[in-house]
Amino acid sequence: MAHDQPNKNLHMQDSSTEFSAPVRALSHKGHGVVTHPDGRVLFVKGIWTGEVGRFRVSDRAKSYDNAELISLQERSSDRVTPPCAHVETCGGCPWMMVNEDAQARAKEQRITFLLDKNGIAVSERRPLLRSPDFFGYRNRAQFKTDGERIGYVSEGTNDLAPIDDCLILNPSMREILKGLRAQLPQSVWRPVGRFPWSFLDVDDQQTLKDVVPNQRRPFRQGNSAQNEQMKAWITKTLQDVAKDAPVIEAFCGSGNFTEALVQVGFKHILAAEVRGSAIEELRAKQMAGVQIMEINMSEKKVWQQLARQNPKARVLIVDPPREGLEERAGLFESLPLLEKIIYISCEPTTWARDLKDFQKSGWKVAHLTPLDMFPHTPHVELLTLLTR
């Protein structure tokens, strides 16, 4: 959210480390935004827009530092009692203290703010696609362990927050966590070198005996039901495109969306991804009509290289990491026959930056559907169709 710059010439009105203030907005990380009496803007975990609280802050803190909630003086009607015993120490579900409707509104409001701030026009905007499961949805996790305890790392620290259960994990994942806890203490999980803990990458496609410390699993969308909604949205959005039209899919990973394109009949797909385990998994699927290209999408002249392999592409699908499309130069010049761009984003700020550039190049947002991949967090996916 936007924050007013404090007046540097403002005299200190209150030098106390404690102060009361209303919560005027939520930050992009989902923390409450409050203003100290001396003008500093501060972030506070565990509070909601419209609430009033008593806060503590270091007298050496600068603007945009964190403050600590001491007590709530006025509570939001959206507030609920979190059912998780670890919500205060873990920090992975910062919005669990408010209801589902409030979380959905906050995600919609953030998107509206970014569209307005960047002057992005949207022809059709649909409501947030909510997760069918508000709890018990997550199909993968990365646990941390020192060999004696297992849990997550508390937000903003290197401190291990032990857990005995996690309510956002799906039933299979909760069983795996239970099995891992039963193995404690576990000497082979002890950290090595300078690291304070080891990590355990786990998903619901493996068994307990397959879990290996400090070994990453291939990326998967973390909410299986929502992943199916994303694939359904892509195929519906492209239903009027001739299936012999050439398609470029950048950041294809292990072929999650590639599979959906093949299933609806696209015959000429260039799937591009950086070298690694994901592209090896894609190769193993041996999908008909899919040409695989190993390339780093952050390279200079990446679009020229893709165009040499698929110069007549009419559809471009991009699903970049949080950094967005870091390399955008030459995209439209290299692929002049593009008719549709599907941009799937997991980070609204870089998404808005990129769409602003697209708009300057003569493209418009024909359709936008936000999707709630991770309830209880500020995270929101954006499913976007751009046309000339």
What are the residue numbers of the active site? 346
Could you give the CA distance from residue 91 to residue 71 in angstroms, rounded to a whole number?
18
Helix (H) or strand (E) holding 290: strand 290-294
Identify the burial level of 348 via C-beta atoms within 10 angstroms of its C-beta, where 0-12 means exposed, 13-18 middle and 19 or more buried: buried
CA atoms within 13 A on the CB side of 194: 0
Using N-to-C axis directions, what is the helix angle for 348-360 and 100-118, rounded to 10°? 30
**DSSP for 323-351, written as a single string:** T--S--TTHHHH-TT--EEEEEES-HHHH
Integer CA distances (angstroms), 352 to 56, 75, 239, in order: 34, 33, 26
Residues in the chain: 388
Helix (H) or strand (E) holding 43: strand 41-44
Are the C-beta atoms of 76 and 105 separated by less than 8 Å? no
Would you give the distance in Å from CA 314 to the centre of its chain?
Answer: 28
The identity of residue 68, as a single letter, is: E
Question: Where on the phi/psi map is residue 224: left (φ > 0), alpha (ψ -120 to 50), or beta?
Answer: alpha
DSSP state of 247: E
Tokens standing for 156?
């903003």
Are the C-beta atoms of 163 and 86 separated by less than 8 Å? yes
For tokens 């260039």, the residue is 270
Helix (H) or strand (E) holding 272: strand 269-273
